[in-house]
Amino acid sequence: MTNNLQATTTLSNGVKMPWFGLGVFKVEEGPELVNAVKFAIKQGYRSIDTAAIYGNEEGVGQAIREAINEYGIPREELFITSKVWNSDLGYDSTLVAYETSLNKLGLDYLDLYLIHWPVEDKFIEAWRALETLYKEGRVKAIGVSNFQVHHLEKVMQVAVLKPMVNQVEYHPMLTQAEVKAFCDSNGIQFEAWSPLMQGQLFDNPLLKELANKYNKSVAQIILRWDLQNGVVTIPKSIKEHRIIENSNLFNFELTREDMDIISSLNENHRVGPDPDNIDF
């Protein structure tokens, strides 16, 4: 399974996606962003996850280009994800949004393009656009984000291709068991955003106990739990020591019992919006 930072899962279309990557949610444009992304790539990260709404695609693109030039890493070894925002959902507008993201990133293609939120009456047309991009060879894989089971079913009723990835809020207090089971049984790779619950789990007594037991940080315990659950994960960080710490997950394994203990923390508690009640 996952024994190093470049370990990959194979998506339903055969594309290999790293199990672990760097998220850049809410990281503003500027040198700090560029340096963090470059540092992560230098440390062995190969997956970078951004989105149109984050407003930082240009900085991410700059970092990627500089990393390719300075470290001699081929573009093909990197896995770059972006997402179409709600206001751009629709067939033509999604195609335009993809071009805009590519231009800002300065790339010829994306490895993964996602519909960011399941806006009713809009996501079906957006999915058709993603299928077009995929068929034209403009993107390596397509998927969705924040989709519940009924959203996925709706897409799959009309889709030629089913989503290859579903990226959702996922952490020990929100295990989304029903959505995960549906994705697992339909060959849709499950991916976690906000895996560390924006730092809100760092003081959890049970997780601290496990961190002591394994001589790891609470963050490392949670991220290892993700990986052992077969969940791709992209913790956000701009601090170099955190980027290193977060990726130091491959020299220990949680027991089945400890995995279950972590899962039992679930309270269906969200830090982000509820996909069934979005008004943005």
- The one catalytic residue among 54, 98, 134, 170: 54
Short-list 248, 229, 201, 243, CA closest to 36: 243
> What is the C-alpha to C-alpha distance for residues 179 and 132, in angstroms, rounded to an integer?
26
> What is the C-alpha to C-alpha distance for residues 76 and 69, in angstroms, rounded to an integer?
13
> What is the C-alpha to C-alpha distance for residues 166 and 152, in angstroms, rounded to an integer?
9
DSSP 82-131: EEE-GGG-SHHHHHHHHHHHHHHHT-S-BSEEEE-S--TTTHHHHHHHHH
Angle formed by the axes of helices 91-105 and 57-71, nearest 10°: 40
> Is 170 annotated as catalytic?
no
Burial 234-260 (b: 16+ CB within 10 A, else e): bbbbbeeebbebbbbbbeebbeeebee
Q: Contact at 8 Å (CB) between 29 and 54? A: no
Distance of CA 124 to the CA centre of its chain: 21
Q: Exposed/middle/buried for 184, CB within 10 Å: 0-12, 13-18, 19+?
A: middle
Kindly list the distances between the CA atom of residue 189 and the CA atoms of 4, 218, 277, in Å, as whole numbers in the listed order: 19, 25, 24
Angle formed by the axes of helices 149-158 and 123-135, nearest 10°: 60
- Active site amino acids: 54
